[in-house]
Chains A and B, each alone.
Chain A
Amino acid sequence: MEERMERKIWGRKTGIWISATVSALAFILSLPFVAWVRLVNISALFPEIGISREMAADLYQSYSVFNLLDFVQKGNQGKLGLYAMILLMLLLASWYFNLSYLWKVIRNKKRKNGDLDLYAGGRLSMSFTLLLAGAGLGFVAFSNHSFGRKGFSASPVIYLLAVLAAAAYAVIKMMEKKERELYHEHGLVKEIRKNWILFLMLVPMFIYFLINSYLPMVGVYYAFTSFNFRDGLWASPFVGMKNFEFLMKGDLFRLTKNTILYNIAFILLGNVLQVFFAVLVSQTAGKWFKKVSQTLMFMPYFVSFVLLRVLVYNLFEYDYGLINNIVTSLGGERIDFYNTPAYWPFLIVAFNLWKGIGYGMVVYLASIMGIDGELYEAARVDGANIFHQIRYITLPLLKPTFIILLLYSLGGIMKGQFELFYQMVGNNGVLYNVTDIIDTYVYRITMTQPLSIGLGTAAGLYQSVFGFVLVVGINWLIKRKNSQYALF
């Protein structure tokens, strides 16, 4: 018995060290200075794929995964771009998994299920290394196929990595099997066999998110291309960061500023107003009055933004608008709202508050309902009037909810309220300076300027990445302060 345990531990250690070595090797061999792909027979190849002598001066003999995109750009080989990009993404993923595996091995923390976590990490890193090597070979095959002749060759490094990773994977798998028997655990295949109905129930969800969310993420590649109709979506020239540079020089600052400032106004004013009305509703005596006023204030939430457009037009139109109607009947001059940018920040914020107040009130009312009634009872006995009760009981107890909601919405500060802005302002160029947000900018490009889709995708990607960093950062802060409120 003792001996068997010993043996197991001995085998375990060797296995882990073998795979850890492979992980380290995979990392080192994929560093930028290691060549993965070589150009063969350059001079014969160049006229074939449209590379001139001047362009050739910028090209190298061999490429690592890192500067493949450089080849795509300088050699004007747009159709290789997406693949090179995917290769780069895979490389980063394999780095991440390999390094985190190494970190796990070094830390050597024991869990209640033994080394199973470690094996899972090892398997993941090996499969990504394998995937990367496979994709590298695939890239060579793909480019040779699309040039119609042998222009690239794979360096031995790729084959080496593939073999090593496969071997290490097999070793880990073997050990994992033994370890699982020890702890009565099972892997994905057995889980699927056991709970196949559950997996079947998830299939529609997988398809949905694949089509609607995950596959479009690959499309961020367009942010690095300059689209033209001749080459189409898949072969338009790769231009590196040019789109971003162009945005930086032009609209990006204004768009970011508008998006963020409007959102801050929406969030701060919105939450304050919602708390205010929620407190009023909760303390009002008449039950019927309470219900009716809440119902009525919730109504704007239910109508579409197109109706909002009708409304805004109805109120602010120059000739027939109700406001101008009232102004003129009071003896004033007509106000040209649609040509005066200065009014719109106020109007947009006002209508956002109008539409969102009911929703927020419900959230805060729920929070107020959760307050223990005895607190008020005790306060009344001590002679606190209603204003004291609100000031010293309701508001302090609402504070956590208020702060949490504020922080959550700050995480989404880069996401513009597209429908609100688009329906209120539409394609009224006079107002763009003060009303254009990233979302409306991208929408306009999508609908009217197909040649600028690279620029639009770049703006969208910037928004996504910036927003992502914000959410993760804010979540990290919440976690440090008070982990039970963390989002993830």
Chain B
Amino acid sequence: MKIKTSKSMIAFQSIACVLLTFGAVICVLPFGIILSGSLTDDAIIIKEGYSILPKGFTFEAYKTIFKVPGEILQAYKMTIFYTAVGTSLGLMMITMTSYVISRKEFKYRDQVSFLIYFTTLFGGGLIPWYLMYANVLNMKGTTFPIWFPGLMSPFLIILMRTFISESVPDAITESAKLDGAGHLTIFGRIILPVLGPGLATVGLFLALGYWNDWYRSSMFSTSQETWELQFYLYNLLNAAASIKQMAMNADIAMADIPTQSMKLAMAVVVTGPVLLFYPFVQRYFVSGITVGAVKG
């Protein structure tokens, strides 16, 4: 009996091992391909195409990017600005809102929650939303419509509310209230100090959203100065394609720009920070998803 069990265990473990390794490789390999492509000699890419391991190892692409770093530094600066402003402001707004709707004594908590939740059920659609910022507020070309729409989301508000009600039992706030503490005291002195993991989780979700956004720049930026980093990368991909097209049409040799590997190098530069932080912050996302999934 015992032998049989361990036999099936061995079988399962080896299958699981193979499949998980396979899954992990599929998930990570693409990053490796991009990295290796960015380190490959551009001439080799054009002659032989991309490969899994770099051929003709060179930093040429990175050197080219940073030869004239003005544009990418500007995009980096703007993205850091959007991320910092959006994350801090959004975190503040989300925490305050979640605190209020987690108060049992607040008479209108159901109505307020519904007001927030309803936005996930029905919306006016993309065009009225776009026209709101572009024509009604007349903010096209400014930075406002790029950071403002990402400040809050019903999911994050509900997530934060769950964190609040889980980290501070009602009994504690009740007794604080009996001792004469007002809402500001309860919020600032009791809730916030123990809300660290919740703040980190929601803040990271916000920051990731800002860092990876390209869409709002594509709609509201009128000059390259306000571009987000991802949108800069997006444009570089298209521009490079059009450069190639032009060169082909005119039947002239491409200039000495390593077009292909440069795109990949740029992708590495843009994504690098996320992947560098990723191992350290991953657990916060895991806890956020877990908490959010439990409460729906």
**A residues apposed to B, CB below 8 Å:** 188, 191, 195, 197-198, 201-202, 204-205, 208-209, 211-220, 222, 233, 277, 280-281, 283-285, 289, 292-293, 295-307, 309-311, 313-315, 317, 319-322, 324-325, 354, 357-359, 362-363, 366-367, 380, 383, 385-387, 404, 408, 418-419, 423, 439, 442-443, 445-447, 453, 456-457, 459-461, 463-465, 467-468, 471-472, 485, 487-488
Smallest Cβ-Cβ distance to B95: which chain A residue: A201
Q: Could you pull out 20 A-B pairs where Cβ atoms are within 8 angstroms?
A: A201-B100, A201-B183, A202-B96, A204-B93, A216-B125, A216-B128, A283-B12, A289-B17, A303-B274, A303-B275, A307-B34, A314-B33, A314-B50, A320-B49, A321-B49, A354-B30, A385-B9, A387-B12, A442-B127, A460-B128
Q: A212-B132, A222-B131 are in contact. List 11 more A-B contacts (CB 8 A).
A: A204-B97, A209-B115, A219-B128, A280-B20, A317-B50, A319-B49, A322-B52, A383-B5, A385-B9, A446-B130, A456-B126
CB distance from B92 to the nearest CB of A (A): 8
Residues of B near A209 (CB, < 8 A) are 115-116, 119, 152
Residues of B near A459 (CB, < 8 A) are 125
Residues of A near B146 (CB, < 8 A) are none
- Chain A's interface: helix, strand, loop or mixed, by majority? helix
Contact with B121, one of A197, A297, A419, A471 (Cβ below 8 angstroms): A471
**B residues apposed to A, CB below 8 Å:** 1, 4-5, 8-9, 12-13, 16-17, 19-21, 23-24, 26-28, 30-31, 33-34, 37, 45-46, 48-52, 92-93, 96-97, 99-100, 103, 105-108, 112, 114-117, 119, 121-132, 135-137, 148-149, 151-152, 157, 182-184, 187, 208, 211-215, 218-219, 230-231, 233-234, 237, 260, 263-264, 267, 270-271, 274-275, 278-279, 282, 285-286, 289-290, 293-294, 296
Residues of A near B123 (CB, < 8 A) are 213, 216-217, 464
Tell me if A304 and B34 are in contact (CB < 8 A): no
User: Complex: how many Å from CA A24 to CA B130?
Assistant: 41
Tell me if B129 and A310 are in contact (CB < 8 A): no
Residues of B near A233 (CB, < 8 A) are 131, 135
Tell me if A468 and B121 are in contact (CB < 8 A): yes
User: Complex: how many Å from CA A468 to CA B122?
Assistant: 6
CB distance from B146 to the nearest CB of A (A): 13
Residues of A near B137 (CB, < 8 A) are 211
Tell me if B151 and A208 are in contact (CB < 8 A): yes
User: Complex: how many Å from CA A65 to CA B269?
Assistant: 59
Tell me if B132 and A219 are in contact (CB < 8 A): yes
> Do A320 and B260 form a contact, CB below 8 Å, given A307-B270, A362-B290?
yes
Tell me if A304 and B20 are in contact (CB < 8 A): no
CB distance from B270 to the nearest CB of A (A): 7
> Do A309 and B234 form a contact, CB below 8 Å, given A357-B23, A363-B290?
yes
User: Complex: how many Å from CA A325 to CA B234?
Assistant: 24
Tell me if B24 and A461 are in contact (CB < 8 A): no
User: Across the A-B interface, how many residue pairs have beta carbons closer than 8 Å?
Assistant: 280
Contact with B214, one of A289, A306, A310, A325 (Cβ below 8 angstroms): A306
CB distance from B145 to the nearest CB of A (A): 10
Contact with A195, one of B13, B127, B183 (Cβ below 8 angstroms): B183
CB distance from B127 to the nearest CB of A (A): 5
Smallest Cβ-Cβ distance to A463: which chain B residue: B125
Residues of B near A367 (CB, < 8 A) are 293
Smallest Cβ-Cβ distance to B20: which chain A residue: A293
Most buried by A among B103, B136, B267: B267
User: Complex: how many Å from CA A309 to CA B12?
Assistant: 37
Tell me if A284 and B17 are in contact (CB < 8 A): yes
User: Complex: how many Å from CA A289 to CA B132?
Assistant: 50
Tell me if A198 and B106 are in contact (CB < 8 A): yes
CB distance from B237 to the nearest CB of A (A): 6
Residues of A near B129 (CB, < 8 A) are 212, 216, 219
Tell me if A320 and B289 are in contact (CB < 8 A): no
Tell me if A357 and B127 are in contact (CB < 8 A): no
Residues of B near A418 (CB, < 8 A) are 215
Contact with A446, one of B9, B126, B157, B234 (Cβ below 8 angstroms): B126
Which 10 A/B pairs are nearest by Cβ-Cβ distance? Answer: A460-B125, A219-B128, A304-B212, A325-B49, A385-B8, A216-B124, A296-B24, A201-B96, A216-B128, A366-B290
CB distance from B286 to the nearest CB of A (A): 5
Residues of A near B5 (CB, < 8 A) are 380, 383, 385-386
Residues of B near A205 (CB, < 8 A) are 93, 96-97, 116, 152, 157
User: Complex: how many Å from CA A445 to CA B52?
Assistant: 39
Residues of B near A191 (CB, < 8 A) are 107-108
CB distance from B46 to the nearest CB of A (A): 7
> Do A293 and B24 form a contact, CB below 8 Å, given A197-B184, A325-B49, A445-B127?
yes
Smallest Cβ-Cβ distance to B113: which chain A residue: A488
Tell me if A311 and B30 are in contact (CB < 8 A): yes
Tell me if B45 and A303 are in contact (CB < 8 A): no
Most buried by A among B52, B128, B187, B293: B128
Residues of B near A304 (CB, < 8 A) are 211-214, 230, 270-271
CB distance from B16 to the nearest CB of A (A): 5
Tell me if A216 and B152 are in contact (CB < 8 A): no
User: Complex: how many Å from CA A108 to CA B296?
Assistant: 35
Tell me if A461 and B279 are in contact (CB < 8 A): no
> Do A220 and B263 form a contact, CB below 8 Å, given A289-B17, A320-B49?
no
Tell me if B1 and A302 are in contact (CB < 8 A): no
CB distance from A433 to the nearest CB of B (A): 22
Residues of A near B48 (CB, < 8 A) are 325
Residues of A near B286 (CB, < 8 A) are 298, 362
Residues of A near B131 (CB, < 8 A) are 216, 219, 222, 233, 453
Tell me if B264 and A310 are in contact (CB < 8 A): yes
> Do A303 and B271 form a contact, CB below 8 Å, given A198-B103, A220-B128?
yes
Tell me if B45 and A313 are in contact (CB < 8 A): no
Tell me if B20 and A202 are in contact (CB < 8 A): no
User: Complex: how many Å from CA A463 to CA B125?
Assistant: 8
Tell me if B148 and A212 are in contact (CB < 8 A): yes
Contact with A386, one of B1, B9, B135, B282 (Cβ below 8 angstroms): B9
Most buried by B among A211, A233, A317: A211
Tell me if B294 and A386 are in contact (CB < 8 A): no
CB distance from A162 to the nearest CB of B (A): 27
Smallest Cβ-Cβ distance to A441: which chain B residue: B126
Tell me if A386 and B12 are in contact (CB < 8 A): yes
